[in-house]
A = this chain, B = another copy of it.
Amino acid sequence: MSGWTTRETAEKCGLSMHTLRWYERIGLLDPVARTADGRRRYTDADVDWILLLSRLRATGMPVRDMLQYAELVRSGAGEQERLALLEGHREHVRQALHQQQECLELLDHKIATYQRRVRAARPATGQD
């Protein structure tokens, strides 16, 4: 046996088997190699690509954009457009990061407030 099964690949990449097959159907993946009886065998290169996809998804890139990127990669050319896509997403991720850091501060503050309140409401019952 060479290559990974759908199950293994799904586990490695944190996606469901259904999702993997769906990604292939819609063209995010090139057709995956098959065993004699028609089962998929993912190569390491497939896995790497899927890992990239899963990271892009996890950071909010729309499937539509991943598809566009995949098509550029498939065509072999379009470096400039790929660059633009990735740079656009990088900017998106940066802004999300920033927003989350802000929210984290707010949460820390709120949580501290609640903790103070909870502690004040149950003064040393001995059960803590």
Q: Which A residues are within 8 Å of any B CB, using their own CB?
A: 52, 55-56, 58-59, 79-80, 82-83, 86-87, 89-90, 93-94, 96-97, 99-104, 106-108, 110-111, 114-115, 117-118, 121
How many copies of the polypeptide does the oligomer hold? Answer: 2
A97 to B104, CA, bound (A): 10
A86 touches B100 (CB 8 A): no
A97 touches B94 (CB 8 A): no
Q: Which of A52, A99, A107, A115 has the most CB of B within 10 A?
A: A107
Among B90, B94, B96, B104, the residue within 8 A (CB) of A94 is: B104
Q: Which residues of B contact A100 (CB under 8 A)?
A: 59, 93, 96-97, 100
B58 touches A118 (CB 8 A): no
Q: Which residues of B contact A82 (CB under 8 A)?
A: 114
Where chain A touches its partner, the secondary structure class is helix
Task: Using A52-B106, A79-B118, A83-B111 as known contacts, list a sample of 6 further A-B pairs with CB atoms less than 8 Å apart, ordered by residue number in A.
Answer: A55-B99, A59-B103, A79-B114, A83-B115, A93-B104, A96-B100
Q: Which residues of B contact A83 (CB under 8 A)?
A: 111, 114-115, 118
A39 to B72, CA, bound (A): 51
